[in-house]
Amino acid sequence: MIKKVIISLLVITGIIICVNCDRKPVKKTQPDTPFASTPHKIVKEMLKLADTGKDDIVYDLGSGDGRIVISAARDFGAKGVGIELDGELIKESIENAKKEGVEKKVRFIQEDFFEVDIKDATVVTLYLLPEINELLKDKLLKELRPGARVVSHMWGIGDWEPDKILNAYDKTLYMWFVPDCANGDWLVVAKGRYASKNYNLKIKQRYQKIKAVLSDDKKTYEFSHANLYGNEINLYGSYAYKGKVTILSFEGFIRGDVIEGKAYIKEPDSLYPEEFMWKARRVRF
């Protein structure tokens, strides 16, 4: 009898567990961050810091009364998307957009911004708690295209260092370029007017920070300046040995597993740098 009761309880428990597993997560109805509006003068500074223009699509995560996307449309000619969980604030945002005559250039989505696809954004604005910014980091890096800009009022984004910092009206604003993937080993061919050169290029990357080393069959050069802005890469180094100088300057754009651009190379025995067109193919991450 006891055995039958135990079996029955296990069966019932199993049914309960299965039923719970099949349930969808409860849809979030309350924002993660309490509503606090960004002052209008700070809104303009945020959008200027991102160099916002008519070709941009500005997404404001936690858009409140819609003031950032409305300003983006009204003052900078951009399109705007506000994502806000509070339905009353969505209604207020729509009315505010109509009052400013930009209702055709902006839209508002009542949704959890963690669940919304933001891949179309070229600028993302944030005024959230620091822990929320950190939780958003992977989403921003994964979904946004290289070169997209992220601007935050007051708080950083975890250990992702900003590309720009602006102090405005006693407030601190941070801006990041979303970096492309430059990490890995690359085979480089540089073609000039009179000669071609072959190199191996090794890049190590952490967010937009990169270290780059170039080598051929004779020497290895570590670039003293290595910068990555979106998919634009710039590498520079100069080296002196026994009174003779070598200069290496590479600039280009990453497109998947290919980098193409211009290089200026000065050999120790030449007077001036020679211009090369260079192309690199990634052979290993």
What stretches of the chain show up as alpha helix (H) in DSSP? 2-22, 40-49, 67-76, 87-99, 130-143
CATH classification of the domain holding 260:
2.40.128.120
Q: Name the DSSP letter for residue 157.
A: B
169 and 189 housed in the same domain: no
Alpha carbon distances (Å) from 189 to 77, 214, 226, 280, 282: 42, 12, 19, 6, 12
Among 133, 162, 177, which residue terminates a domain? Answer: 177
274 and 149 housed in the same domain: no
Instruction: Check: pTM over 0.95? Answer yes or no.
Output: no
136 and 213 housed in the same domain: no
173 and 258 housed in the same domain: no
- The one-digit pLDDT tens for each residue of the chain (285 residues) are 433 433 343 333 343 233 333 443 445 554 556 668 999 999 999 999 999 999 999 999 999 999 999 999 999 999 999 999 999 999 999 999 999 999 999 999 999 999 999 999 999 999 999 999 999 999 999 999 999 999 999 999 999 999 999 999 999 999 999 999 999 999 999 999 989 999 999 999 999 999 999 999 989 999 999 999 999 999 999 999 888 899 999 999 999 999 999 999 998 888 899 999 999 999 999
CATH classification of the domain holding 74:
3.40.50.150
140 and 66 housed in the same domain: yes
pLDDT value at position 242? 84
pLDDT value at position 10? 38
pLDDT value at position 271? 86
69 and 168 housed in the same domain: yes
Query: Which stretches of 171-257 are assigned E, i.e. beta strand?
Result: 171-177, 184-192, 196-206, 209-215, 220-222, 225-229, 232-241, 244-255
pLDDT value at position 274? 96
pLDDT value at position 18? 31
Residue 193 lies in a domain: yes
188 and 139 housed in the same domain: no
Query: Checking DSSP bridges between strand 57-61 and strand 123-126, what pairing results, if any?
Result: parallel
Residue 119: burial class (beta carbons within 10 Å; 0-12, 13-18, 19+): exposed
Number of domains in the chain: 2
Tokens of 28: 């979030």
The pair phi, psi for residue 181, each rounded to 5°, is: -95, 110
pLDDT value at position 9? 37
